[in-house]
Structure 1
Amino acid sequence: MALPEVPPAYVPRHTSTLKIPELKKRLGFKTEYLFTYTMQLPEDDPPFIIGNGADGISMIITERGTRVSGPRINGSFIRDGNDYVTLRPDGSSIHEVRCVILTDDGARIKFTYKGKGDFGPTGYQDVLDGKMPEKVKIKCGPHMETAHPAYQWVNGVQCLEVGEVNVVEKYGTFDCYAII
C-alpha cells in the first residue's frame, strides 16, 4: 500500500538559520551495574490472555518470588509483579511492569518499566495456537522512586535493563544498570 502524499500544510516552509556547533565527539554515556533480579513464573498462574486486540495479543504474566541482589540494592519484590504484555503480529512485544522492591534494610522503592521483547518471528501465531516460546529476550528502561533517605539517589536515575525469560524452566533473570 502506497502512503498518501504529505498535505501542503505539513510540508516544512522554513529552514532553521541556527548554527549548531559541530560535535567533537558523540554524547555517549556510561553505565553502572546496580543489581540483578530473578523471578519465577508460577506453575499455578499461567499467562492470562486478555484477547487479540487492535495492537496485538494482550496478556498478563505473573512474576513471583523475585529476589534483587547487587552492589547498590538488595531485597525482594513485595507481592507478585505483573507484566502487562502486548504481543504484536511481527513477534515483538511491549512490556509494562509495576512493582515495589522491599530492600533488606526496610526501604520501599517503586520500580516501574516499559520495554520491548522478542517472542520470535512465529511468536504471535504460536501464542494464538496456545504455545509459548522457549525464551523471550527483553530490553527496557526502568525508573525508581522512593522517600527513604538512604535511597534518594534512585529518584534521579534512569536505568537500562536487559533480561531473558526462560519460559520452559519458568524463571527470568534481568540485569539493571544506571545511566551515568
Structure 2
Amino acid sequence: MSLPEVPKHYVPRDVESLNIPPVKLQSLTTEYLFTYTMELPEDDPPCIIGSSKEMVNMIITERGTRVSGPRINGAFLRDGNDYVKLYPNGTSIHEVRCVILTHDGARIKFTYEGRGDFGPTGYNDVLEGKMPDKIRIRCGPHMYTDHPDYQWVNGLQCVEVGEVNVQQRYGSFDCYALK
C-alpha cells in the first residue's frame, strides 16, 4: 500500500528562502524551590495493572512525603500514586497528581509527567516481580493554588530531578522553577 501524497501546503518551505534574522541562544536559569522525600511502603508493593509486549502499566504508592526548601515547606496530603508505563527498553513514563499541604495551611495541587529509567533489564525484572535497585526520574511539574500567599506558583514551569532507591524504600526529588 502506498502512502498518499503530502498536500502542497504541508511540504516544508525551502529554509534558505525564509527571512529570519540570526537568533541568539536563549539563556536558562533556575530557582531551587524545595526537595521532597518520600517513603515507599513495604506493605504496598507496586501494583501491576496490566502488561503486554509493548508495556507494563503499574501504580507505585508513595507514603509519608516531606517537602522542605527555601520556598515551600510541608507534606503531601494522603498517599501519592505514581502511574507508570514501563517499556521493554527500560524507559518509563510517570504521571503523578498530589496535594502539598504547606506548613502554614495552604493546599497546592502538584502534578507532573516525567521520564524514568528502570535500566536495561527493568521491564523483564518487573514482570518477574523484581524492582531495580534505583529508578532515575526527570519531570516537568506544575502547581496551582487559590491561597493568596502562594499565587506565585500558578505561573511556574518547573523541572524536577530525582531518584527512587527501591532497596532503601525512599525517593528524593529536587524541584526548580525555570526563570
**2 CA distance for matches of 1:97 and 1:77?**
12
Q: Could you tell me which residue of structure 2 aligns to residue 9 of structure 1? A: 6
- Alpha-carbon distance in structure 2 between the residues aligned to 1:111 and 1:14: 39
- Report matched runs for 1:42-53 at 5 Å: 42-53=41-52
Look up the match of 2:70: 71
The count of residues paired between Structure 1 and Structure 2 equals 176
What RMSD in Å do the two structures reach over aligned CA positions?
A: 1.7
1:155-174 matches, within 5 Å, as 155-174=154-173
Matching residue's letter, 1:154: V
Q: Which amino acid aligns with 1:92?
A: T
State the SS of the aligned residue for 1:153.
helix
More divergent stretch after superposition (54-63 vs 78-87): 54-63
Whole-Å separation in 1 of the counterparts to 2:52 and 2:152: 39
Which amino acid in 1 is paired with 2:117? D
- CA drift of 1:129 comes to 1.2
**CA, structure 1 residues 14+67, in 2 after alignment: closer, same or farther (shift >3 Å)?**
closer
Q: Quick check: 45-54 or 128-137, which moved more?
A: 45-54
* Matching residue's letter, 2:147: H
1:71-115 CA distances to partner (integer Å, 9 max, x unpaired)?
Answer: 000000000000000000110000000000000000000000000
Task: Name the TM-score, length of structure 1 as normaliser.
Answer: 0.92
Query: Is 2:17 the counterpart of 1:20?
Result: no
Separation in 1 of the partners of 2:91 and 2:139? Answer: 13
